[in-house]
Amino acid sequence: MKTKKIIILSLSLLSIFIIIMAGDYYFSDQLPKSMVNRVIQKSMEGNFSDLNIRTQDKEILQRFFNSEYATKDMDFSGEFTHMNPNRPELLYNFEYIDYNQINQIRQIIVGAIAIEMTRQSFLKWKIKQVRIIKNLQIYN
């Protein structure tokens, strides 16, 4: 009977540990990425006035996404750089590959921006700064 209680207690503690780790992963990694993904999606659609960020950051995003090479079909992905844990930064790479009629690559458009984040509370992240790392460029 005593071993059964120990097993139940151990499984309960393990379950709590797993839930805490999953919550930390979500609120530390996935939540800010989701927030920034929405900002980027709205920027790609040209809805800069809907963004809840600083005016100078809106201007930077406008300059990046109003480039002659910008397209709504660009693929993008973002990852934390983890260079400075006190100032988390997401690096977003953008890419669009254009093919001709015989499915050969005609041109590739690439660019990158960095978004520095601050954590105001456990659940609340805020964009601190947006920087263009590489303007959208075309490669033939």
- Third-level CATH fold of 2-139: Nuclear Transport Factor 2; Chain: A, (3.10.450)
Average pLDDT of every residue of the chain: 85
Residue 94's pLDDT band (cuts 50, 70, 90): very high
Which range is most confident: 25-34, 49-58, 76-85, 94-103?
Answer: 94-103
Cα separation, 95 vs 110, whole angstroms:
5
pLDDT at 28: 64
Please give the average per-residue pLDDT across 3-21, as a whole number.
85
Q: Answer yes or no: are the C-beta atoms of 136 and 113 closer than 8 Å.
A: no
* Mean pLDDT of the 60-79 span: 87
**C-beta neighbour count of 116 within 10 angstroms:** 17
User: Per-residue pLDDT for 10 more than 90?
Assistant: no
Question: Are the C-beta atoms of 91 and 114 separated by less than 8 Å?
Answer: yes
Mean pLDDT of 36-55: 86
- The strand pair at 89-99 and 105-119 is best described as antiparallel
Tokens read off for 71? 């397209």
Domain boundaries, the chain: 2-139
pLDDT score of 113:
94
Indicate if the pLDDT at residue 132 is higher than 90: yes
**Confidence (pLDDT) at 33:** 84
Q: Which residue has the higher pLDDT, 96 or 22?
A: 96
Q: What is the pTM of this model?
A: 0.75
pLDDT band at 134 (very low <50, low <70, confident <90, very high): very high
